[in-house]
Amino acid sequence: MKMRKIIAAAAATALLSAGAPAAAALPDIEGWRNGEIRETKLEAISGSKGTWTERDYRTSGGARLHAVLMQGAGPKGWEITQTNAEDGEISGGESAENLTIAGRPALLEFRPVLGRSITVKLDAENVLTLESKNAEKEEIIAAAEIIVKKMR
């Protein structure tokens, strides 16, 4: 009986603490509409590969953002390559530009049909991506700065 209580307490602690990292990872931003946090554990036969966390935001200016935070082994070896390109005549107006967001390397992309996205390499095992169909370049960059700074 005592062993069951210990196991139940350990399970409850694990369940309660499981939600905490996600909330801290994609923070509430004052003045924005902060959507529900959705978290998916990335599991394989070889073990845990990390976490995929998603959240939708709407900035005070009305820009809609979909945030995805990849944590763990998934982005471990991935790096942002130096890219500054506009292939408008060949591929329909797409562009890519390297930036720095809160001191971290980032890549801003634009596709006329899909909108803008910005990917920020936070550290060796964490990558943040923001996607928006209606945000202007300055809005998505400012939003990324705010989220990354709040995550620190």
Q: Which residue matches tokens 């530009």? A: 97
List the domain boundaries for the chain: 2-151
pLDDT one-digit tens code per residue, 74-104: 666 677 776 666 655 556 778 899 999 999 9
Would you say residue 118 has pLDDT above 50? yes
pLDDT one-digit tens code per residue, 119-142: 999 988 899 999 999 999 999 999
Does the pTM surpass 0.85? The reply is no
CA atoms lying within 13 Å on the CB side of residue 47 = 2
pLDDT at 84: 65
pLDDT at 93: 78
Would you say residue 61 has pLDDT above 50? yes
pLDDT one-digit tens code per residue, 5-25: 444 444 443 433 343 334 358
